[in-house]
Amino acid sequence: MAHAQVTAEPQVAVPPRPRSARAGVGDRDASLTEVAVGPLGVAGLVPAADGAGGDVVVFSPDGTTVSATPLDDLAPSPMTVVGLHVTADAVFVRGHERSAVDDDPTTIAPQVVLVGTP
């Protein structure tokens, strides 16, 4: 009975280099203020530098690709984000309209929920 010797070079898988969450937010100094991780991926909120609008939602389904979507492109009016959630089906951004906020603590601003699906 003949024996064959098999030798193989070890295979090392190198994952693609992840892109920065700063991708798509321009040259401004960016930081994440909200982060949510779920079965669909990871989402984060990059706030506007001046706090007057222009917040960006970044999303990565696999850690190798990042998309950036300005909230101004999605929301009916400028909004303040109060929650970010990732489920198996969608990314949810919850907030309230900035124009509806006043100095009366008994006033409840209308809630806005944006739902993004793949």
Mind listing the pLDDT tens digit for each residue in 31-69? 888 899 999 999 999 887 665 567 889 999 988 888 888
Quote the CA–CA distance of 112 and 71 in Å, as a whole number. Answer: 12
How many domains are contained in the chain?
1
Domain hosting 109: range is 34-116
Assigned domain for 107 exists: yes
In a domain, 100, yes or no: yes
In-domain check, residue 38: yes
| pLDDT digits 0-9 by tens, 61-77 | 988 888 888 888 888 77
Distances in Å between the Cα of 71 and the Cα atoms of 15, 45, 57 are: 31, 10, 7
**How far apart are the C-alpha atoms of 98 and 52, rounded to whole Å?**
9
Is the entire prediction scored with pTM above 0.75? no
Residue 71 lies in a domain: yes
Is 46 contained in some domain? Answer: yes
